[in-house]
Homo-oligomer: A and B are copies of this chain.
Amino acid sequence: MSATDDGSWSPILAAARSVFLEQGFHGASVREIAKRAGLTVPALYYHHESKEGLLMAILLRAVTNLSELTERIDATPGTPAERLGRLTHAIVMSIASDAPTFAIDSSEARYLGPQNHERYAELRGRVEDVMRGVVTDGLNDGSFDVDDVSTTSRAIFGMLMAIPRWYNVEGPESPETIAERYAHLTVNMVRNTAN
């Protein structure tokens, strides 16, 4: 990946991200991405082997960050409700801090070729595993009550991944406010009210 370690985007990936957002993966031209990055097409190909390579670099960065974040959060002890609340809060903060990338994740990841898709799905699967693990723990200790672990985890994940579609960085609500609201909604969704 040409992204630098401090979390900023290389000019090529920033250009690719904006063109993918505007035109979709199939509509995006490498010529336009190179132009926005201030490079020639051959210079762009020196850094990234293909248009799919650019999409993969963008998605890999987002999903790697998310996977590391969720595994770190999950290592902090607490009740299942506390862990689920923290996990939701952290994922919302991560999505809100990089909404354009997660918007691409939602709509363009399906265009990755089989090999890239497998690697991407493996990392994304880790995030879903953490979520399923917390829901399972809550069912086991009786603090949660849901019909089905997988449906519940997918529902939570879908709810979070839809945020980039309406979230506005310039909007009146801070990422913290939105993260807190989603944490409440998620914990209420699974809580065993017979307790």
Contacts and interface: CB of A to CB of B under 8 A. Distances in A.
Interface stretch (A38-46, A56-64, A77-85, A182-190): A182-190
A158 interface: yes
A27 interface: yes
Contacts of A188: 188-191, 193
A147 B181 contact: yes
Contacts of A1: none
Contacts of A190: 185, 188
Nearest to A111: B24
Nearest to A161: B162
Interface string A21-55: 00111111000000000000000000000000000
Interface in A75-93: none
B158 A165 contact: yes
Interface of A: 23-28, 106-108, 111, 146-148, 151-152, 154-163, 165-166, 173, 178, 180-182, 184-186, 188-191, 193
A190 to B, nearest CB: 7
A165 B121 CA distance: 13
Contacts of A157: 162
A39 to B, nearest CB: 22
Contacts of A156: 159
A25 B107 CA distance: 11
B107 A185 contact: no
A23 B147 CA distance: 36
B185 A152 contact: yes
Contact of A189 (B108, B154, B162, B189): B189
